Amino acid sequence: MSALRAPAPAAPAEPVPPAPEGRPTRRHLLSVADLDPAGIGEVLAVTDHLAEVVRRSIPRVQALRGRTVVSLFAEESTRTRLSFETAARRMSADVMTFSSASSSVKKGESLRDTVETIAAMGVDAFVVRHPAAGAPAQVARWVDAHVVNAGDGWHEHPTQALLDCYTIRQVLAEAAGVPVAQTGTEGFAGLRVGIVGDVRHSRVARSLVLALSMLGARTTLVAPGTLVPPSLEGWPVVGVSHDLDALLPDLDVVYLLRLQLERGTGAYLPSLREYTAGFGLTARRAARLAPHAVVMHPGPMNRGVEIADEVADATRSVVLRQVANGVAVRMAVLYLLLAGPEAPGADELGRSLGVAGG
């Protein structure tokens, strides 16, 4: 991963204005690792404001008026693309959509051509979904625009992890009886999270484990041996378990992953029924959860496989809330990258124009 993220030697040196208070200037969100715990906290705090915007009868602000956001999706997606495009529109940005699952953009050189062509039209941000890990990082190297990773292969899906953290924070605030906007990320310390299922093929799991560990939660991976990543290097988890039943009563959050049958997960399992018998969250298993525990799933759900119908629709399931929070979180990410205090150049430009306050 570090090799992918290193700047290309041929890239022209661009002047980077000094970041305020010694924090790094953020141009892109390619990985959760681009953020630090304070950075995650900032995204969640700005999300509180944008959640208020989303709740209004006219859910729109003009904060990104005149900016152009392109969604470049080289892989099937419904919710993520719609969520990002809705987020950009609710901030009054212009949205261009490039959607292709065709083979031409899967080849490195032509992806570059595609991206550079779109960039030439004047684009402020690319939202990139691609079947190849590292593709968004490549795009970031080719263009001046900001790049948001909307899921790349088995690598990462950082906005999903952020919206999951926001949802958990919301649940924690409700349990404590305080408004979510008045809470920070303290509630994550010591939180016991079980991530269950196809961890091997899951970019959601990788991003979420990184984010949760930064915030101090204790994450355990629960999967059949064949669906655990071949190496756990760089996975800050407290453990790996093959026995969901033993772990269930001790979890605060059960995070179920989708069995990624399109990535050939079926070949790693004797049968779907056997998977469900061992790792599916059935009604019988859900009854053994702690009373306060919540069930999460990044969607789309394989009902009857990793999650039973009656569990997916139960009150302890926050799946729909995850989707609702997705828009506000993505608004926050776009805002912070394009216009936030760490957006490159913001301060310099303001200074040169002599902009005063008040």
Q: Checking phi first, is residue 337 left (phi over 0); if not, alpha (psi -120 to 50) or beta?
A: alpha
Among 54, 210, 328, 338, binds other proteins (CB under 8 A): 338
Cβ distance to other proteins smaller for residue 1 or 173: 173
Q: Which of residues 104-163 bind other proteins (CB under 8 A)?
A: none
What is the end-to-end Cα distance of the chain in Å, rounded?
44
**Whole-number Å distance between alpha carbons of 53 and 64:** 14
Q: Who contacts 353 (Cβ-Cβ below 8 Å, separation ≥6)? A: none
Residue type at 130 in one-letter notation? H
Interface residue with other proteins among 4, 53, 119, 132 (CB under 8 A) is 53
Residue 341 in the binding site for other proteins (CB under 8 A): yes
Provide φ and ψ at 143, rounded to 5°.
-125, 160
Tell whether omega for the bond before 229 is within 30 degrees of 0, i.e. cis. no
Give the whole-angstrom CA distance, residue 162 versus residue 47.
10
Element (DSSP H or E) covering residue 297: none
Helix (H, G, I), strand (E, B) or coil at 38: helix
- Contact between 19 and other proteins per CB under 8 A: no
Is the CB of 187 or the CB of 280 nearer to other proteins?
A: 187
Q: Which is nearer to other proteins, 129 or 169 (CB)?
A: 169
Residue 214: CB minimum distance to other proteins, A: 21
Among 20, 184, 239, 270, binds other proteins (CB under 8 A): 20
Site for other proteins in 316-335 (CB under 8 A): 335
Determine, following the binding rule CB under 8 A, whether residue 340 of this chain makes contact with other proteins: yes
Half-sphere exposure of 79 (CA within 13 A, CB side): 15
Determine which residue in the list 3, 8, 21, 190 makes contact with other proteins, applying CB under 8 A.
21
Give the range of 111-119, 269-277, 293-301, 337-345 binding other proteins by CB under 8 A.
337-345
Helix (H, G, I), strand (E, B) or coil at 341: coil
Q: What minimum distance in Å lies between the beta carbon of 42 and other proteins?
A: 8
Q: H helices within the chain, ranges in order? A: 2-5, 37-55, 79-90, 108-120, 135-142, 158-176, 203-214, 244-247, 272-279, 283-286, 309-312, 319-339, 346-353
Of 254 and 343, CB closest to other proteins: 343
Counting contacts by CB under 8 A, is residue 173 touching other proteins?
Answer: no
Of the pair 65, 292, the CB lying nearest other proteins is at 65
Interface residue with other proteins, options 56, 273, 288, 292 (CB under 8 A): 56
> Site mask, other proteins, residues 71-110, x = CB under 8 A?
--------------------x-------------------
CB under 8 A: which stretch of 44-52, 210-218, 254-262, 322-330 binds other proteins? Answer: 44-52
Residue 18 interacts with other proteins (CB under 8 A): yes or no: no
Q: CA-to-CA distance for 239 and 259, rounded, in angstroms?
A: 21
User: If binding is defined by CB under 8 A, does position 344 make contact with other proteins?
Assistant: no
Selected range binding other proteins among 56-64, 98-106, 281-289, 292-300, rule: CB under 8 A: 56-64
Please give the backbone phi and psi of residue 263, each rounded to the nearest 5 degrees, phi first: -95, 15
**Partners of residue 244 on adjacent β-strands:** none
Contact 70, 139 (CB under 8 A): no
Residues near other proteins (CB under 8 A): 20-21, 46, 48-49, 52-53, 56, 58, 60-64, 91, 181, 335, 338-343, 346-347, 349-351, 353, 355-358
